[in-house]
């Protein structure tokens, strides 16, 4: 019996996953493409904005036909609602800012979808992520920055475990974005120059505030400045994030200053604002919880690098674990507007080490 070379590719309809499938097929693998249905109907959220999943599905199907691989649609709607949509809504309801893309990778793409791939006899799940996978001497694997640093997506994989990383393949890791598009063009892919997806993974170009308005009722309250004066009204704390400037609809009465959101008082239902010049958004020390490690836990006290948010440059921190899954991190340089619920990704020598959630 020959060696099993079956690989499943998560095809989103974008150019990166399409080229991932192409490269795996060219390497002699037996490739099957899968498109995940994660939303009930395009019509259901059409009034809120554009979420063109039907076009994405057709683009994925056409690429699969073009390169001659099997293609399947899997219904992940209920699973996606449970692990991504509901935590997103409930997080905003509680005043925090979750990251649905990280939840999707952790529980859906490299979780439920990987299980489907295994059940169908595949030995790996390929995706279009810009991320390198490196095998260590002890047989474990690390996730490493890709060649195209501008497209580095390791941040979104901060909550993957070893078993998930072991089963994953990232065929475009050694390519720059323009090289990926060039391969798609030579392959005759209709999506070769399709724009990268923007915004929250399942909403497309739908604004998060419009989406949340369908699930969270208005809850008017006062907007309070640093002098404890009422300067305006809000319709719900879930509409705001720390550092937000636009949408407050309150005058600063100053030519060179403006209000920004600096906090939320859930008990009093008050939105706290201050002038940007007051520097109330900058902090060095943060508590993080729900620590996760891509390979092995690092020392209880150590110096690390991190990305405070996606696309943020590396920052130096001192890490001190205070319990099994909690720690205090102290930045060498103060950071602006880091919000509860957001994810910090830890690094060392270009290797993704894990992540934590700001408390």
pLDDT over 50 (residue 257): yes
Instruction: Give me the residue spans of the domains in the chain.
Output: 6-128+171-209, 218-278, 282-358
The architecture in CATH of the region 282-358 reads: Beta Barrel (2.40)
- Contact (Cβ atoms closer than 8 angstroms) between residue 22 and residue 33: no
CA atoms within 13 A on the CB side of 314: 16
Which residues, 6 or more positions from 142, have their beta carbon under 8 angstroms from its beta carbon?
Answer: 133, 134, 136, 294, 295, 351, 352
Active site residue 306: no
Active site residue 51: no
Number of Cβ within 10 Å of residue 297's Cβ equals: 12
pTM: 0.93
Give domain 6-128+171-209's CATH number out of 1.10.150.120, 3.40.50.300, 3.40.50.150, 3.40.50.620: 3.40.50.620
Q: How confident is the model at residue 79 (pLDDT cuts 50, 70, 90)?
A: very high
CATH of domain 218-278: 2.30.30.280
Q: pLDDT by residue (tens digit) across 194-230?
A: 988 765 655 666 678 888 988 999 999 999 999 999 9
Q: pLDDT by residue (tens digit) across 28-71?
A: 999 999 999 987 555 555 444 555 678 899 999 999 999 999 99
Catalytic residue (choose from 51, 131, 201, 306):
201
pLDDT at 207: 76
Q: What angle do CA 88, 75, 19 make, to 5 degrees?
A: 90
Catalytic residue (choose from 51, 104, 131, 306):
104
């Amino acid at each position: 019996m020959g060696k099993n070379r079956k690989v499943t590719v998560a095809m989103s309809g974008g150019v990166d996953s399409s080229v991932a499938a192409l490269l795996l097929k060219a390497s002699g693998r037996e490739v099957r493409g899968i498109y995940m249905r994660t939303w009930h109907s395009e019509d259901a959220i059409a009034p809120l904005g554009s979420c063109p999943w039907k076009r994405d599905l057709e683009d994925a199907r056409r690429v699969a036909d073009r390169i001659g691989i099997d293609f399947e649609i899997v219904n992940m709607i209920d699973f996606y609602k449970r692990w991504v949509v509901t935590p997103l809504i409930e997080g905003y309801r509680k005043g925090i800012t979750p990251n649905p893309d990280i939840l999707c990778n952790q529980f859906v793409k490299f979780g439920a979808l990987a299980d489907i791939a295994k059940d169908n006899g595949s030995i790996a799940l390929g995706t279009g992520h810009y991320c390198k996978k490196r095998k260590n001497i002890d047989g474990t694997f690390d996730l490493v920055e890709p060649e195209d640093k501008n497209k580095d997506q390791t941040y979104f994989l901060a909550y993957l475990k070893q078993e998930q990383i072991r089963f994953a393949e990232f065929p475009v890791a050694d390519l720059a974005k323009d090289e990926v598009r060039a391969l798609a063009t030579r392959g005759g892919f209709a999506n070769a120059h399709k724009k990268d997806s923007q915004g929250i993974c399942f909403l497309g170009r739908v604004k998060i505030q419009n989406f949340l308005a369908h699930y969270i009722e208005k809850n008017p309250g006062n907007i309070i400045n640093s002098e404890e004066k009422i300067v305006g009204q809000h319709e719900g704390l879930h509409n705001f994030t720390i550092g937000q400037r636009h949408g407050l609809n309150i005058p600063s009465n100053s030519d060179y200053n403006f209000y920004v959101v600096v906090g939320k008082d859930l008990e009093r239902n008050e939105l706290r604002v201050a002038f940007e010049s007051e520097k109330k958004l900058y902090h060095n020390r943060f508590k993080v919880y729900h620590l996760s490690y891509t390979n092995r836990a690092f020392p209880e006290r150590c110096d690390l690098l991190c990305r405070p948010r996606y696309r943020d440059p590396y920052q130096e921190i001192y890490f001190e674990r205070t319990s099994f899954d909690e720690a205090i991190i102290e930045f060498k340089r103060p950071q602006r507007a880091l919000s509860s619920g957001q994810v910090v990704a830890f690094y060392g020598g270009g290797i993704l080490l894990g992540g934590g959630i700001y408390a």
